[in-house]
């Protein structure tokens, strides 16, 4: 059974992207991005550019897994350099792909879907390698650090579904600035080693009443920014009633209004809550291969649910989370608690099932969209004269 109905594919054809605005750093980079785009070959498909960036993140993720399976320890300096280089490359390629699409006159809803779908998976890949560079280990601190980013990022798409525009940042600080912060963090670790992040700031600020590692101070700053972002999203969505502004073709068959906005908020919260519980349960056991599998399982679940929400927005269709990934995560939590079977074996089995389901969804949806729009995903199709 196809994932997208005929009606959904019809709604996708009417999709128009609405930018949420740019920050000062975005504006500063525009000449550079335009220059790079102008020197790309005209046969290079925009989705290939996006995929190259994602592949770089995946390589850095795998290398960090090999050298730092427990999210902590000291790896060769080049491992951290690779993490930073992969992150900054993805940042720039993610901004160039759309320009290449316009340059080659190949802009389409497929490109927007592919771009945001890759972003959904990239969030987990980026944050996992950052946890390694911060030397956080398989602890609640690594979970909290990830959630400070993943929660507002996920709810940004909730807001986009109801309001029609994706807002992430405050006009001064946005996605580009956040990505650069992660890149700089990687490069600092490359130069100094991860032990820098364990330095106790109480030695510099004796007035502190308790020890404060550098990494904890960084997490506090990220947490403040994340809470500010989430607070703005909730305020705009639940107290300024933006969803009533979507009319006609922009509304399509979406589930709009306060009841649906709250329902979607609670559904996304359920996904995040189960993921947090699964990862926190894994921190109790401190088994590196087990913790890695659980974190990756939530990363895949997060990417799947986010991509489905993005798809619902673009097709102007009703949205609801898919439950089977949450049931698998719940099974993992129960097994970790009761130890019916080997924890690590169960965690990796769950990950493989989730990854298979995610890849099947992505592959099937891309094929459906390509067929509906008469496009190819990784090549630029010549327009008929």
**Closest residue by Cα to residue 125 from 56, 174, 66:** 56
- Which pLDDT does position 169 carry in this prediction? 65
- Which pLDDT does position 1 carry in this prediction? 67
- Which pLDDT does position 25 carry in this prediction? 86
- Helix-helix angle 46-67:109-133, to 10 degrees: 20
169 — phi, psi (to 5°)?
125, -175
User: Active-site residue among 116, 124, 186, 290?
Assistant: 116
**pTM given for the model:** 0.94
The ranges assigned to domains in the chain are: 9-373
| CATH architecture group of domain 9-373 | Up-down Bundle (1.20)
Given a contact cutoff of 8 angstroms between Cβ atoms, the answer to whether 354 and 299 are in contact is no
Alpha-carbon separation of residue 344 from 129, 221, 287, 334 (angstroms): 21, 33, 8, 13
Three-state SS at 191: helix
pLDDT along the chain (385 residues), means of 10: 87 81 83 94 94 97 95 94 96 92 89 91 96 92 93 92 78 82 94 90 75 86 90 85 64 86 95 96 90 96 96 93 96 91 94 97 95 89 64
CA dihedral 47, 48, 52, 58 (to 10 degrees): 60
Q: Is 313 considered catalytic here? A: no
CA distance 279 to 339: 16
How many helices and strands in the chain, by DSSP H and E?
A: 13, 0
């Amino acid at each position: 059974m196809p994932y997208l109905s005929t009606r959904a594919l019809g709604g996708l054809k009417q999709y128009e992207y609405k930018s949420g605005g740019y920050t000062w750093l975005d504006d500063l980079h525009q000449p550079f991005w335009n220059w790079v785009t102008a020197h790309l070959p005209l046969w290079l498909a925009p989705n290939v550019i996006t995929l190259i960036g994602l592949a770089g993140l995946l390589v850095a993720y795998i290398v960090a897994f090999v050298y730092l399976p427990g999210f902590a320890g000291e790896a060769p300096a080049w491992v951290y350099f690779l993490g930073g280089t992969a992150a900054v490359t993805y940042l720039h390629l993610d901004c160039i792909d759309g320009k290449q699409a316009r340059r080659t006159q190949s802009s389409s809803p497929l490109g927007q879907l592919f771009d945001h779908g890759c972003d959904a998976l990239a969030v987990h890949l980026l944050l996992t390698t950052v946890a390694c560079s911060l030397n956080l280990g398989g602890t609640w601190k690594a979970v909290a650090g990830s959630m400070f980013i993943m929660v507002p990022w996920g709810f940004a798409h909730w807001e986009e579904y109801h309001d029609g525009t994706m807002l992430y940042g405050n006009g001064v600080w946005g996605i580009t600035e956040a990505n650069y912060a992660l890149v700089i963090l990687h490069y600092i670790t490359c130069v100094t080693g991860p032990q820098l992040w364990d330095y106790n700031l109480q030695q510099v600020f004796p007035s502190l009443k308790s020890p404060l590692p550098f990494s904890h101070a960084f997490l506090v700053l990220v947490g403040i920014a994340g809470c500010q972002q989430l607070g703005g999203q909730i305020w705009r969505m639940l107290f300024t009633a933006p969803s009533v502004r979507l009319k006609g073709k922009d509304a399509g068959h979406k589930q709009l209004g306060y009841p649906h906005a709250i329902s979607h908020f609670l559904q996304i919260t359920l996904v995040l809550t189960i993921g947090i519980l699964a990862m926190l349960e894994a921190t109790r056991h401190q088994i590196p291969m087990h913790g890695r599998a659980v974190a990756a399982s939530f990363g895949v679940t997060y990417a799947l649910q986010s991509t489905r929400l993005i798809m619902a927005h673009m097709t102007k269709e009703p949205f609801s989370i898919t439950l089977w990934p949450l049931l698998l995560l719940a099974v993992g939590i129960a097994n970790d608690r009761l130890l019916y079977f080997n924890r690590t074996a169960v965690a990796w089995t769950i990950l493989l099932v989730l990854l298979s389901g995610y890849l099947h969804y992505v592959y099937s949806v891309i094929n459906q969209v390509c067929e509906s729009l008469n496009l190819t995903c990784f090549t630029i199709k010549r327009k008929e004269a």
